[in-house]
Structures are given as structure tokens and as C-alpha cells.
A and B are shown apart, each in its own frame.
Chain A
Amino acid sequence: MFGSFIKKSRAKSPWIMHFDCGSCNGCDIEVLACLTPLYDVERFGVINVGNPKHADVLLVTGTVNHRNKKVLKNIYDQMPEPKAVIAIGACGNTGGVFKDCYNVVGGIDKVIPVDVYVPGCPAKPEAIIDGVVAGLGKFAQKVEDAD
């Protein structure tokens, strides 16, 4: 009984951590906009924690370059299971317009496993919220599969 309450709670209390992997900050501004009273993601229980150890969902923007891929991996490893990763924006998904540059890795899924891709340049807050909700669904699925 307590176990099912825990399962239910996972979807109701997704704590996010937001990390910028070389983004132009366009997507980052939209992510932070989600936290403002206009979009108010806290009604879904979302809190922006700055600490991977407290986070369930990692929101990543930017193309990832050879310097911050180590940091990204480190932060991902410091998140306790179960966790989900959401790549935001065209750069995060595939590298966007910068895909063939020499200094970019080209997409977050080249470094860590990604659960949800949110397209856009920048992605709209509504799309980001959609992505988080979809991510929660996958979250629950992952936990079911793991049990």
C-alpha cells in the first residue's frame, strides 16, 4: 500500500534540475519562464532544485561540447534513480544549426540517455511543460518495468 503511494507520488512530485550545455540561453529563458506565475509548473509539484542529488528530471539545453560533456555525465551520475532526462530545443535534440561544427558533440543523447525530446528554437514553455508531463509518463513506465 505504501509502495503504490510511492509510485503514485513519483508522477506528482517531479523535481527538476536544469543544466545549460552551451545553449544560447533562449531555451533556458523559456524553462525559467515555466516557473513564473504565468505558467506556474509548481501546481504539478515541480520544483527547480539546483542539486542533482535532489532531482528526478534533468532538463538539458544546448549542443554539448567537449568540455561540458564531462560535467553533464557527472551530474547525470549524481542523480539517484529513478530519473529521466529531457532534451530541450533543437540544439539539445540533434545539435541544431551547429550540428557540424568542430567544437560541438551534437546532441545530448550522445552523452547520456534521453527520455523526451522537446523541439523548438526556442522551445515554447507550453511545449516544455508537455515534455515534462510526457517524461513523467515514461518515468512511471520505467519504474513499472524495473519492478
Chain B
Amino acid sequence: MDTLILVIIGLVAGPLLGGLIAGLDRRVTAWFQSRQGPPIMQAFYDVAKLFGKEKMVVNQWQILCAWVYMIAAAVSVALFFAQGDLLLIFFVQAIGAVFLVMGAMAGKSPYSHVGAQRELMQILAYEPVLILVFVGIYMVTGSFSIEAIWAQDMPLLAKMPLLYLALGYALTIKLRKSPFDFSTSHHGHQELVKGVLTEYSGPYLALVEIAHWYETILVLGLCALFWHTNVAWMAVLLVVTYMLEILVDNTMARMTWRWMLKRVWLIGMGMSVVNLIWLYAG
């Protein structure tokens, strides 16, 4: 019964929180750029406006894929709030990612197609890192389940610092922040128009945006688990992490997929493996 309440909280509060974070993100970014920026509720205005637009698609696969993406993201957040298995949560979230890519490949749009291929490169980059982070959590708590984390006395961050940094790579990719925002970006006018999202419009773009909020909550939730012992410090960790993300976004240029693969696999996986060796040896 408790689980059900938590799941409902997650499903409802997730997108609301995600939208607020998106709005705050734009506000803080504007501050970095010496301007005022939109109101904090802007993300909700955007999504509401999109829902009110005319339905326009290239074919029915886009509709199917947009819905499945959002539903999969929602289910993964529900599982997260239900204290489920981290590895399973990740694979459920991957359903959405795969459907986003497939939906983008459904029409005859060159921008969409190249965006979809780049999105696959992004998935290729962050998936091994995330799996190793979960393995690290397993090594510390003895389980892949979120429930086991609460039983720990020390924050996970103490034993898994390098894995947290590697998680930062995955977070940057998932939040679509520079330098890893070549598949699609919140900044307008990239060389692929809008990349993966080019052909999505109106209500379906709104669904994709809500799915993105769910994913943001999921990855931030994962970061939050690293300091589960104290709510205040958890908040500090999240705020610092997110501010760093915005800082990186504003100071770095968009790079290529080759650069990303090299960086994330060599440095990200390298850090993860070193941290895991510490955990396996200890």
C-alpha cells in the first residue's frame, strides 16, 4: 500500500518537479548570460501550448513512439519511487530511449535520421557507465535494490566518488547539455535543425518533453541516492551537481560523437573501473 502511494506521488510529482527544474534551469542559464530569462513556470506554459496545437505527423509510428517514450519514462520513475531494482529501472528507461530513436527514423527526414544515429551514439556512451555505477552500488550495499541503500550508515558518495563523477557524464548526456547535445538540444538552431526531435510537433513534442522531465527526475534521483543519510546534504549535492551542469553547458561548445565516445569511454569508464577495483578489493 505504501508502495502504491509512493508510486502515485512519483508519477504525479515527477513531471511537476521536472518542469520546475527545467524552468529554473533556464532562469539560472539566463543569469549566467547576464539577462533576465523566462519565468520559472515557463516549461509548463510551453508544454500546455504544445498540447493546444494542431496534430501534425509524418506517419503513425511517430505517434506510437512518442507515447511509448513517455509511458516508459513514467513507468521507470514509478519503479524508482517503488524502491525497485536499479538495473531494471534503467532497462525500462531504455525502452523509451529506443522508441525515441525509432520514431525519429520513421519518416523520410534526413535531419531526424542523423539525429537518431547520434542519439544511439549517446546511448552507447552512457549505458556502460550507468551499469557500472549500479554494480558499484551493489558492491557497497549487496543488492541492486534501492531499498538496500537506506540501510547504509555512510553515504554512497564516500565509497563511490569516482563513480559519481562518471555518473556526471551520464547526467550531462541525459540532460542534453553541451558538450554532449549534438543529437538534439535546448538551444535552438543546431546544424541538424532539431535533430532527433525535428519531425515531432504539437502534442507529441509535448509528450517527448514530459518524458524528458521524467528522465531528468530519474537521473537526479539517482544522484540523490548518493547522500541518502541527510536530506540537507542531499539537497546540497543535487544543487551543486546541477549548477555544475549548467556551468559546463554554458562554457563548453558542442562537440562530436567521436570526442564524446573517447571521453566517456576512456575517462568515464576508466574512473568507474578504478572505483570498482577499490570496491572489489575492499
Q: Which residues from chain A sit less than 8 Å from chain B, CB to CB?
A: 2, 5-10, 12-13, 15, 37, 40, 42-45, 47-51, 53-54, 56, 78, 80-82, 143
| A53 partner residues in chain B, CB cutoff 8 A | 56, 198-202
Query: B45 and A48: CB pair below 8 A?
Result: no
| B38 partner residues in chain A, CB cutoff 8 A | 42-45
Query: B45 and A9: CB pair below 8 A?
Result: yes
Query: B35 and A40: CB pair below 8 A?
Result: yes
B153 within 8 A of partner (CB): no
**Main secondary structure on chain B at its contact with chain A?**
loop
Stretch of B135-143, B187-195, B233-241 contacting A (4+ beta carbons < 8 Å): B187-195
Which of A7, A42, A78, A80 sits near B35, CB closer than 8 Å? A42
B42 within 8 A of partner (CB): yes
B53 within 8 A of partner (CB): yes
- A-B contacts, 26 of them at CB < 8 A, read A6-B51, A7-B52, A9-B45, A10-B52, A12-B45, A13-B45, A13-B48, A13-B49, A40-B36, A42-B30, A43-B38, A44-B38, A45-B42, A48-B188, A49-B188, A49-B189, A49-B194, A50-B193, A51-B198, A53-B199, A53-B201, A54-B205, A56-B49, A80-B54, A81-B53, A82-B53
Query: A47 and B188: CB pair below 8 A?
Result: yes
Query: A10 and B35: CB pair below 8 A?
Result: no
Which of A8, A45, A50, A82 sits near B188, CB closer than 8 Å? A50
**Residue total for B at the interface (Cβ-Cβ under 8 A):** 33
Q: Which residues from chain B sit less than 8 Å from chain A, CB to CB?
A: 26, 30, 33-39, 42, 44-46, 48-49, 51-56, 188-190, 193-194, 197-202, 205
| B35 partner residues in chain A, CB cutoff 8 A | 37, 40, 42-43
| A6 partner residues in chain B, CB cutoff 8 A | 48-49, 51-52
Evaluate whether A80 and B36 lie within 8 angstroms (CB atoms) in the complex, with A13-B42, A13-B45, A53-B199 already known: no
B86 shortest CB reach to chain A, Å = 34
A29 shortest CB reach to chain B, Å = 15
Complex Cα spacing A15 to B34, Å: 22
Complex Cα spacing A81 to B56, Å: 9
| B42 partner residues in chain A, CB cutoff 8 A | 12-13, 45
| A82 partner residues in chain B, CB cutoff 8 A | 52-54
Q: Which of A7, A15, A42 has the most CB of B within 10 A?
A: A42
Complex Cα spacing A128 to B193, Å: 24
Query: A9 and B44: CB pair below 8 A?
Result: yes
Nearest residue in A to B42 (C-beta to C-beta)?
A: A45
Q: Which of B33, B36, B52, B200 has the most CB of A within 10 A?
A: B52
B206 shortest CB reach to chain A, Å = 10
B36 shortest CB reach to chain A, Å = 5
A140 shortest CB reach to chain B, Å = 11
Query: B194 and A54: CB pair below 8 A?
Result: yes
Q: Which of B36, B39, B44, B49 has the most CB of A within 10 A?
A: B49
6 nearest CB pairs, A to B: A53-B201, A37-B35, A9-B48, A80-B54, A6-B52, A9-B45
| B56 partner residues in chain A, CB cutoff 8 A | 53, 78, 80
Nearest residue in A to B55 (C-beta to C-beta)?
A: A80
Query: B36 and A43: CB pair below 8 A?
Result: yes
Nearest residue in A to B30 (C-beta to C-beta)?
A: A42
Query: B49 and A37: CB pair below 8 A?
Result: no
Complex Cα spacing A37 to B34, Å: 6
Query: B188 and A10: CB pair below 8 A?
Result: no
B20 shortest CB reach to chain A, Å = 16
Nearest residue in B to A46 (C-beta to C-beta)?
A: B38
| B45 partner residues in chain A, CB cutoff 8 A | 8-9, 12-13, 45
| B201 partner residues in chain A, CB cutoff 8 A | 53-54, 80
Query: B199 and A42: CB pair below 8 A?
Result: no
| B194 partner residues in chain A, CB cutoff 8 A | 49-51, 54
Query: B54 and A81: CB pair below 8 A?
Result: yes
A32 shortest CB reach to chain B, Å = 10
